[in-house]
Amino acid sequence: MIHNNIYFQIELTARKIRQYGQNVLRSHGIDITIEQWLVLNVINDNETTNQIFIGEKLVKDKPTISRMVNQLGKKGFIIKTSSSSDSRQVSLSISKKGKTLIHNLQPIIEGIRLKGLQELSEKESQHIKSILNKIQKNLDT
Amino acid sequence: MIHNNIYFQIELTARKIRQYGQNVLRSHGIDITIEQWLVLNVINDNETTNQIFIGEKLVKDKPTISRMVNQLGKKGFIIKTSSSSDSRQVSLSISKKGKTLIHNLQPIIEGIRLKGLQELSEKESQHIKSILNKIQKNLDT
DNA sequence: TATTTTTAGTTGTCTAGCTAACTATTTTTA
DNA sequence: TAAAAATAGTTAGCTAGACAACTAAAAATA
């Protein structure tokens, strides 16, 4: 049966996490997606980063990053300029509005995180990460 | 760091599974997506099912099922008629072409499954499913 | 029985993810 | 140094997932 299939459960859990998180953000009237928040965070942790770097961190392809960066720009959370050293590259940084958002989001995101991980022991957390990693490695080769 | 985040790893693993599976299907020249294959399987296991039932099994919403069923119909893998007892409902069944596809896909899908689960013990398989289930339940309430 | 409510399915609109094809720079190398 | 190859990013086209709004038919209820 499909519900006993590990792949199905991984994919379903991923969807439920995204959906729950998105609902919480919406309930706070915050105009950003979970995925966009991840991008914003990479930029926040690495000022003047380019899009390739974000893609490597988040393991997403160039078009996906390009579009999410555009969204974040439209919403005024980031500033996108051309790199002075290499004009192929962009240079991304957080705007004031973006900094405020990140600040306000911290406790909300932490709340989402804790909600899903309730009653998961440290051992279980480590274990699931190691198993997921094993599956990923199996599929990489 | 994001790579140490359980949610990120769950979502990433889900993407890698889909991507690997899709590549294998493509390499066999098979014109179907992993998600469509799941729908096809539910129909195969439950002849004359309707779309609500598929949605319940796969935990997907009505528009998503509606569109995937349409794709499978266009490709000639299923036959969609109106239910005689309730004309709101559709009645879905597998075509000959669909049956052939399912038959040919069995070993390929099994190969994909085994590839990812290499060196996972039965205990680990059970464990990850129980942890994923715990996370899902945490988010449901 | 007439009206209201529920149910099954579709359509529209948006975001994300993927592939492929493209432009425009920068780097390699012949 | 001129031509070829690699790199950063964008655009286009597709599927899936989510939400909202809709149609049409069935079921409930007053």
Closest approach of chain A CAs to the CA of B19, in angstroms? 9
Please choose, from the candidates A59, A46, A47, the residue with its C-alpha nearest in 3D space to the C-alpha of residue A133: A59
Provide residues 14-53 of B with CB closer than 7 Å to any strand D atom: 33, 35-36
Report the pLDDT value the prediction gives residue A76, as an integer from 0 to 100: 97
Determine, for residues A17 and B7 on separate chains, whether the beta-carbon distance falls below 8 Å.
Answer: yes
Grade residue B42 by pLDDT with cuts at 50, 70 and 90. very high
Stretch B118-129: mean pLDDT: 94
- pLDDT for residue B70 is more than 80: yes
- Beta-bridged to residue B92, according to DSSP, are B49, B80
Grade residue B57 by pLDDT with cuts at 50, 70 and 90. very high
Q: State the burial class of residue B12 (Cβ atoms within 10 Å of its Cβ: 0-12, 13-18, 19+).
A: buried
Give the tens place of pLDDT for each residue, A116-133: 999 899 999 999 999 999
Determine, for residues B138 and A116 on separate chains, whether the beta-carbon distance falls below 8 Å.
Answer: yes
Q: Which chain A residue has the Cα nearest residue B141? A: A115
Stretch B35-44: mean pLDDT: 97
The domain segmentation of chain B, as residue ranges, is 2-140
- pLDDT for residue A22 is more than 80: yes
In this prediction, what percent of chain B has a pLDDT beyond 90?
A: 96
**Alpha carbon distances (Å) from A45 to A42, A141, B1:** 5, 31, 10
Disruptive mutation site among A19, A126, A131, A141 for chain B (greatest number of B CBs within 10 Å): A131
Question: Does B114 lie at the interface with A, CB-CB under 8 angstroms?
Answer: no
- pLDDT for residue A1 is more than 90: no
Determine, for residues B140 and A42 on separate chains, whether the beta-carbon distance falls below 8 Å.
Answer: no
Report the pLDDT value the prediction gives residue B112, as an integer from 0 to 100: 96
Give the tens place of pLDDT for each residue, B74-87: 999 999 999 999 99
Report the pLDDT value the prediction gives residue B1, as an integer from 0 to 100: 80
The CATH number that domain A2-140 falls under is 1.10.10.10
Give the tens place of pLDDT for each residue, A27-81: 999 999 999 999 999 999 999 999 999 999 999 999 999 999 999 999 999 999 9
- pLDDT for residue A141 is more than 90: no
Grade residue B119 by pLDDT with cuts at 50, 70 and 90. confident
Grade residue B95 by pLDDT with cuts at 50, 70 and 90. very high
C-alpha span between B4 and B54 (Å, rounded)? 35
Report the pLDDT value the prediction gives residue B113, as an integer from 0 to 100: 95
